[in-house]
Structure 1
Amino acid sequence: MSLVQLYVPTEVSRDIIYKIGQLNLIQFRDLNSKVNEFQRSFVKELRRLDNVERQFNRFKKELDQRDIPVKTFPYESSPIVPQSDIDEHVENAQILEDRLLQLIDSTNSLYEKQKELKQFKATIQGVDNFFVVNAGPQSETSEESALLSQLESQAQEASHGSFISGVISREKVGTLQQILWRILRGNLYYHSEELAEPVYEVHSNEYVNKNSFIIFSHGAIIYDRIKKICESLDADIYDVDATVSLRSDQLAETNMKLADLSAVLTQSENALSSELIAISRDLAKWWEVIAREKAVYQSMNLCDYDDSRKTLVAEGWIPTDEISNLTTTIKGSDDSQSIPTIINVLETTRTPPTFHRTNKFTDAFQNICDAYGIATYREVNPGLPTVITFPFMFAIMFGDLGHGFILTLVALALVLNEKKLGASKHDEIFDMAFSGRYILLLMGIFSMYTGLLYNDIFSRSMTLFSSGWEWPEKFAIGETVLAKQVGTYIFGLDPAWHGSENALLFSNSYKMKLSILMGYTHMSYSYIFSLVNYIHFKSVIDIVGNFIPGLLFMQGIFGYLSLCVVYKWTVNWYAIDKQPPGLLNMLISMFLSPGNVAEPLYEGQASIQVFLLLVALICVPWLLLLKPLYLKRQLDKAAAEYQELPTDEDELEEGDAAAHDDDEPHEEHNFGDIMIHQVIHTIEFCLNCVSHTASYLRLWALSLAHAQLSTVLWTMTIGGSFGATGALGVFMTVFLFAMWFSLTVCILVVMEGTSAMLHSLRLHWVESMSKFFQGEGTLYEPFGFKNLIDL
């Protein structure tokens, strides 16, 4: 990475920054970090564009409410939009907003009038039902019928004001009844009916279920009190005539108004929909133009604007091999200008951002590592080995040819249709799977490979080659039968082990030791990466004080254990008539009783183990003391040189300026801080050698759990259908196959696959990357026009 400085003439600054944004190469530095955001040079332009984005957001909200899709456009190589077009977009956005608001307000007012008319109609019908239907002798007792007749006669005599009627939300009906009953002490008659259709509320943009009600009481003061209570519960009160003929006239008039209003409302809705459809066709294009313009001015606000010289000074990080591309692009833009843009490559002690060049295949693997931490500038990138080790660690735990084949088919479908799927919108879970489609593909392919090694396909075995074991032809029932070895199976696990009594014991021991070997190999090569970092950064003290003692400690204990595992496999213990020794007890006794070997594995084992133990013990103080003592000597030497510096204040200021390039902060440490840091490092390294090696046993545990769960699922579903015959057998086979396949996909592929993926992720983040990864970098985020809007 290089730090470049650009001197851009003001008259072409917008066009030059736009060209740089199209290149997507420069990460601009903020040269105005001490200036308030509201006092920068291009705040006025940004506020203007913010207002346009607010208007576009309003348009998008209205489109979403009416389910009108926004047409999208490709913008990979859009030319520079002239400033006059931007001004036109701003003016058009304001015109469209005013017109749209006018149409929306008009439509909402019509909806409000329609709601009032519908509620008034429902209230009239509710009053009619109360007086006409409920007053019949077939629905009421004689006492209630007399009461209703009395209420109707009183209402007709008093005309208006004899009862209160209206509409209230159905959720508040019970509350209204309780309040009225308590306040009026039961001196009222209340009747309520549910409205046949929900009522559309404009302010909340939703349909609400409501009830019509009618309330009888006596006294003007009480009626006023009832009205206030109803209004406090957001009820709408309407004046309904007491006589039947007048109510009929009100109902007819209301129906006529509703018909006229519906016709006007339909026309208004059509006009609003037409306007929104026209906006939806070009909204994405307009929004992209404004978003790019806003991004340009935001980047220009990071630059130093020299008003006296009419020059924009910009600084930013760029990959060194892209400087020529930047120069060519900017020089091409300067052909018609009298004052060219000047590009300088600066020498600096600042730490550049970390940039890893990726493609669509490696991007997902790099994101896995970046999620843990951004690599320090120019340290070993763990993303490259992760391309192979991550899916392979997953496959060790997920080893099954059938399950791996299903996963591979799913990943292939995503890969082969990536252009079509990438252009459409999906939910978050699908987007995660789609972004990691190449990870899924490798996970499936590696799982098929390890499934062949385990000789597992949906928990069944395959006989691809001749078995290396031969069973006797004659044996008695109940007799323990021993197979005779007649050769070696060419590839993977011999199918003769499937179904044998000691199959689980053999596979457990075999996979457990393979997990230890895999963990040792993974940690060892990861630890070698730390040597690569030390050599690159020319840190000899880290090589001598950290890498060498750490390597001797890890190899002397766990490298020795791994070598013993391999050696134990090479010995035919049955042929020499000896019991193979337990390696775990051997490792424990190596520390607890040095020099004593209860079950020797080879000659001279006691002496070698004592020697390795002494080497490991020497490595602990070596790790603990060498680097801190060396750094203490360097600090003392620097302090002595500082005392001999000249005392002239000007020279001191010049020295400080040279030592602190661009106000770069430097963290100071004393010997106590260094010693504490090294003690923590030593303790963590020694303990992690033990815990991390044991952590790789998850490869064995999850592989065993996956195989056993697959066996149980087969036995309890489709495995029990093969014994039935006839129509029942056909039905059982079809039904249990569907059950088996569904559970296999849901449980073994999706759930078990997710679990194995998370465990593989942990092995890379904790066990592997802790051996070399510093992760103190900052991500390279160049200025560009990708993903500015999300429609």
Structure 2
Amino acid sequence: MNSKILFFIINIITIKGSAEMTMIQLYIPTEISRESIYSLGSLGLVEFRDLNKNVNQFQRSFVNEIRKLDNVERQYRYLIKTMEEHEIFPPETLAIDYEESHKNTLSTSQLDEIYSNAQLLEDRVTQLSDASEELLKKQMDLKQYQQVLSATDKYFPGEVSRDLIDLNDEQGQALLEAGTERESNFITGVIPREKIPILEKILWRVLRGNLLFKTTEIEQKMYDQKAKEFVDKNSFVIFSHGEMIISRIRKICESLDANLYLVHADSKSRQSQQIQINEQLTDITNVLENTNLTLTTELRVISSEIDNWVKCVKLEKSVYEIMNRCHYDLGRKCLIGEGWVPTDDISIIQSTLEECSTKFSTDEDSTFPIIMNTVNTTRTPPTYHKVNKFTAAFQAMCDSYGIATYREVNAALPTAATFPFLFAIMFGDLGHGFIMFLAALTLVLNEVKIGRMKRDEIFDMAYSGRYILLFMGLFSMYTGFLYNDIFSISMTFFESGWKWPESWKEGDSIEAHQVGTYLIGLDPAWHGAENTLLFANSYKMKLSILMGFIHMSYSYVFSLVNAIHFNSMINIVGNFIPGFIFMHGIFGYLTICIIYKWCVDWVAIGKPAPSLLNMLINMFLSPGSIDEELYPGQATVQVFLLAAALICVPCLLLIKPLWFKHQESKKHIALTEDNEVGTDIDENNLLSNLDLGNDEEHEEETFGDVMIHQVIHTIEFCLNCVSHTASYLRLWALSLAHAQLSSVLWSMTLGSSFSFTGFGGSIFIFLMFGMWFVLTVCILVVMEGTSAMLHALRLHWVESMSKFFEGEGIPYTPYAFNAILETVAQ
């Protein structure tokens, strides 16, 4: 009867571990292999193993199909890049909508059509883009030519007045003389504006000042073929003498990326040049506009479907990648694959494969049967936790610390309750919790609408953890109600248990008298009292120790659940039992003393309340010595608990290594006896006795390894019992800090504004309210909330999960289309 009760209690406290996994083996006919893999990808339940690890990626069966799809992806990337250059942004299709509209795989003819269409689109867009770029270059060249002709007119006689030339300037006189000589040599062109000083300096040094250099800024930006962008340019004219010098000037200009143009010295010739250039420019501009219009129109048509095409090709490519992981049996013309699946979902996979086999049959009489077998293996399965939209965020939080070992206790389920509660202890305020609750409730109520939106990284984090925020706000409202704090102001929900004296004189010290007990939570009479901080310090400090001990205790019990599940009696005897006695003999005793001290009315019995901190210190430094007795027989109890805790230390240190040494001796004796008799040793039985857990290579653990591991475990456990208990004092520290900061913000903003009256006072109160609300949300809710959340996260990762969590699991990554489509969206 007692064993049944114990088993029932264990079942109650057992937190469900990861889902049970089974390895399956699939034999898929080659005729429907691609369609079958596509159906399994839509299902998203099979994690395929790579059966061709020793085969090079470029030598696998379906590498040619993957290359074709890689080329299509390259072509689509080129099209998208061209769209972005023309400021055309293709609309994105949500993964949910795409999966619903593309449930069936494409046929071979449809794939061939995708290949051909992608090539046609690339050729067409490339042709139009190249034509547009060439026309743009010609247009810019004609515009530059036009600017050079316009700027050169003022440097020849008859085109510019003498008033524009300073005759007292030597360069001005030289310009006039150069203009009067028809046979003067000159060079005209266009150069980027930033290279003008360089050109001028080089020419001056090479020709030793034997030239005339004039430039004119071009107001419109010109296209630079080398930089592939529009830049500021200047037109220039260089006058000099001699063909050799002119040739040298031309080479220098060309080396600085200048565009040189032929301009006639004769006025009529220049006019005819201008007319010809203007006509050509008009024709080129019209052709360029028509080309760009055609290109833009075609890109807009493509943009409406390009996202679906990209997703389609990505999924088809993933199908062939999975097929390359399978073994292609040419003799039996089938594809052999292996993978892990949740045991509970095997029937779903079986029905899906049967439906696929029937659906893609060539006729009614012939079918392609797909054979699925379950495989018994010693490999370690991957860890898979079934989650919903509520538990997904908590599971992701725990998985960030480490992937749980297969079938061990899932830390995420208790975290769903303890994480928001420990956060609320540090963030206890009814008003601040209500603000956080409303923000999270908005995300929850609009989760479908927001889920279809494109979110940035920070907003996506808040949306993914919306249920965490909802519970954090809800629990904060509860603890704020217990603390009787709402924006640092107390609320009298029930009748106070303290009463102030009716008659008192100014300057007298007033003491309240207790007349009853406040119904629930902190009595509002403590707010405003001189010793309120002293009382809150003592109350919250002891409360944090209680919460920490409870949190660590139930976490440590999970190690017992793991040991029972894995049938490891040595971990129960060598680790759990001595560790449990050590932790509860010291800190469990401290917890009981805290509760006992709260239950005793020390004023009524006329004794001072003893210090529990001094009691705990003296328990180790002077066992059996009691300065202030808390209860009768205290010395005897403390000596007994201390002795039990000290005995547990060598038990933690020695039991497991000695058991391992004994087991190794038994195995060695058995091997010796078998060799003497001549009995063959069954290697499989030997491996099962060693309990390796999988069929992969493992290093055999020696006695030295076990001893070192146990020494480290014993030291860490004993020290962590102290440090982790003290770490929970952060619950007290952050709670007081949050309350004091809230009180200071209230008194310095909205609280001080109520002393003003009249119309001006109303305006001031309104402004102070806005300031108080903004600072409350930004500092107290966002910043303080983030700080409390990080501290609560640390308490779970370090103080709680270190008591039982192994974290040596392999994540379950099934072949699922939704995960692939989410990667495409990113």
The answer to whether TM tops 0.5 is yes
Q: Structure 2 unaligned segments of length 5 or more: list them.
A: 1-20
Partner of 2:298: helix, strand, or coil?
helix
Out of 664, 686, 690, the residue aligned to residue 696 of structure 2 is 664
- What amino acid is aligned across from residue 23 of structure 2 in structure 1? L
How has the CA–CA distance of structure 1 residues 606 and 434 changed in structure 2, closer, same or farther, with 3 Å as cutoff? same
How far, CA to CA, are the matches of 2:430 and 2:277 in structure 1? 73
Contact 2:157 2:180 in 1 (8 A): no
Task: Report deviation, 1:474.
Answer: 2.6
Q: How many Å separate the matches in 1 of 2:379 and 2:69?
A: 34
SS for the counterpart of 1:31 is coil
Alpha-carbon deviation of 1:168? Answer: 0.7
Q: 1:91 aligns with which of 100, 107, 116?
A: 116
Counterpart Cα distance in 1 of 2:184 and 2:452: 65
Indicate conservation of the 8 Å contact 1:159/1:243, yes or no.
Answer: no
Change (3 A) 1:85 1:487: same
**Residues 183 and 16 of structure 1, relative CA distance in 2, 3 Å threshold:** same
- 1:53 aligns with 73
**Contact in 1 for aligned 2:186/2:238 (Cα 8 Å):** no
Distance 2:522 2:201 in 1: 78
Give secondary structure in 1 for the equivalent of 2:786.
helix
* Structure 2 counterparts to residues 748-767 of structure 1, below 5 A: 748-767=780-799
1:164, 1:216 within 8 Å by CA — same for their partners in 2?
Answer: no
Distance in 2, Cα, partners of 1:203 & 1:707: 64
Matched, 1:297 2:294: no
Q: Which residue among 394, 398, 421 is the counterpart of 1:392?
A: 421
Distance 1:492-1:651 versus aligned 2 partners, 3 A rule: closer
- What is the CA–CA distance in structure 1 between the aligned matches of 2:496 and 2:211, rounded to whole Å? 95
> CA offsets per residue over residues 199-233 of structure 1, 9 Å max, x none?
45577665434444555566655555555454444
Structure 2 equivalent of residue 29 of structure 1: 49
Q: 1:136 to 1:595 in 2, by over 3 A?
A: farther
Contact 2:203 2:249 in 1 (8 A): yes
2:156, 2:246 → 1: CA distance? 20
Equivalents in 1 of 2:30, 2:220: separation in Å?
64
Instruction: Name the residue aligned to 1:10.
Output: 30
* Distance verdict in 2 for CA 1:481–1:300, change over 3 Å: same
Partners in 2 of 1:247 and 1:700 — Cα distance?
A: 90
The answer to whether the Cα contact below 8 Å between 1:155 and 1:163 also exists between their aligned partners in 2 is: no
Structure 1 residue 237: deviation in Å? Answer: 4.0
Separation in structure 1 between the aligned mates of residue 153 and residue 483 of structure 2, nearest angstrom: 82
Give the drift of 1:288.
2.4
- C-alpha distance in 2 between matches for 1:412 and 1:391: 15
**Counterpart Cα distance in 2 of 1:41 and 1:285:** 27
Mean Cα displacement is larger for which, 485-494 or 654-663?
A: 654-663
Give the corresponding residue for 2:813.
Answer: 781
Shift of 1:256: 4.1
Offset from partner CA, 1:259-307 (integer Å, 9 cap, x none) = 3333222222221111111112222222222222111111111111111
Separation in structure 2 between the aligned mates of residue 737 and residue 756 of structure 1, nearest angstrom:
25
Which of 624, 627, 642 lines up with 2:653 in the alignment? Answer: 624
State the Cα deviation string for residues 470-511 of structure 1 (Å, max 9, x = none): 222332222221111122222222222122212222212221
Please say which of residues 606-615 and 206-215 is displaced more in the overlay. 206-215
- Picking from 478, 483, 492, the partner of 1:463 is 492
2:571 maps to which of 542, 547, 550: 542
Aligned to 2:172: 148
How many residue pairs match? The answer is: 789
Counterpart in the other structure of 2:181: 157
Partner amino acid for 2:49?
R
Give, as a single letter, the amino acid of the residue that structure 2 aligns with 1:301. Answer: N
Q: Distance in 1 between matches of 2:540 and 2:156?
A: 86
1:328 aligned to 2:351? yes
1:9 alignment partner AA: P
Kindly indicate whether the alpha-carbon contact (under 8 Å) linking 2:495 and 2:518 is maintained by their aligned counterparts in 1: yes
Q: What is the CA deviation profile of residues 643-665 of structure 1, one whole-angstrom value per residue up to 9, with x for unaligned ones?
A: 34469999767778989998522
1-structure distance, mates of 2:232, 2:696:
65
Alpha-carbon shift at residue 636 of structure 1 (Å): 1.9
| Pair 1:582-2:611 in alignment | yes
Please give the alpha-carbon distance, in whole angstroms, between the structure 2 residues aligned to 1:752 and 1:137: 77
CA distance in 2, matches of 1:635, 1:442: 51
Confirm or deny that 1:284 pairs with 2:304. no
State the Cα distance separating 1:678 from its structure 2 match: 0.6
Closer, same or farther in 2 for the Cα pair 1:457/1:117, shift >3 Å? farther
Q: Specify the SS of the correspondent of 2:337.
A: strand
Greater shift, 67-76 or 730-739, is seen at 67-76
Letter in 1 for 2:655: L
Contact 1:595–1:607, Cα closer than 8 Å, also in 2: yes
Distance between the aligned counterparts of 1:354 and 1:720, measured in 2? Answer: 57
In 2, the alpha carbon distance for the partners of 1:574 and 1:89 equals: 88
Task: Give the aligned partner of residue 688 of structure 1.
Answer: 720
The whole-number CA distance in structure 2 between the counterparts of 1:246 and 1:506 is 102
Alpha carbons 1:135, 1:148 under 8 Å: kept: no
| Distance in 1 between residues matched to 2:181 and 2:679, nearest whole Å | 107
Counterpart amino acid of residue 468 in structure 1: G
Using the alignment, how far apart are the partners of 2:199 and 2:650 within structure 1? 82
Structure-1 separation of matches of 2:783 and 2:563:
41
Gap regions ≥5 residues in structure 1: none
Shift of 1:25: 1.0
CA shift for structure 1 position 24: 1.0
The answer to whether structure 1 residue 69 and structure 2 residue 94 are counterparts is: no
C-alpha contact 2:167 2:173 (8 A) present in aligned 1: no
Is this contact kept in 1: 2:191–2:257, CA < 8 A? no
Could you tell me which of 576, 580, 588 is aligned with 1:559? Answer: 588
What CA deviation, in whole Å up to 9, does each residue of 1:392-436 have, x standing for no partner?
A: 121112111222112112112211221121112121111111111
- SS in structure 2 at match of 1:312: strand
User: Which residue number corresponds to residue 769 of structure 1?
Assistant: 801
- The aligned residue for residue 729 of structure 2 is 697
Q: One-letter code of the match for 1:516?
A: I
Residues 160 and 240, structure 1, Cα contact 8 Å, conserved in 2: no
Contact 2:192 2:231 (8 Å CA) reproduced? no
Q: Which stretch shifts more, 239-248 or 352-361?
A: 239-248
Give 1:62 deviation, angstroms: 2.3
SS state at 2:54 partner:
coil
Cα offset, 1:167, TM superposition: 2.4
- Residues 1:722 and 2:757 are matched in the alignment: no
1:515–1:654 distance in 2 versus 1, CA, 3 Å: closer
Change (3 A) 1:602 1:333: same
Name the SS of the counterpart of 1:260 in structure 2. Answer: helix
For the pair 1:516 / 2:545, whether they are aligned, the reply is yes
Deviation at 1:560, TM superposition (A): 1.3
RMSD: 2.9
Q: For residues 757 and 207 of structure 2, what CA distance do their matches in structure 1 show?
A: 79
**Distance in 1 (alpha carbons) for counterparts of 2:647 and 2:606:** 39
- The TM-score with structure 2 as length reference comes to 0.89
3-state SS of paired residue (2:26): strand
More deviation in 752-761 or 542-551? 752-761
Q: What are the within-5 Å matches in structure 2 for residues 492-531 of structure 1?
A: 492-531=521-560
Output the CA distance in 2 between the equivalents of 1:636 and 1:10: 54
**Structure 2 equivalent of residue 746 of structure 1:** 778
Matches within 5 A, 1:386-425: 386-425=415-454
Report deviation, 1:526: 0.5
Alpha-carbon deviations, 1:727-776, whole Å to 9, x = none?
32232222222222222222222222111111111111111100000000
CA contact under 8 A between 1:131 and 1:148: conserved in structure 2?
no
- The 3 A distance-change label for structure 1 pair 194 and 458 is farther
Distance 2:683 2:411 in 1: 42
Is the 1:8–1:312 Cα contact (8 Å) retained in structure 2? yes
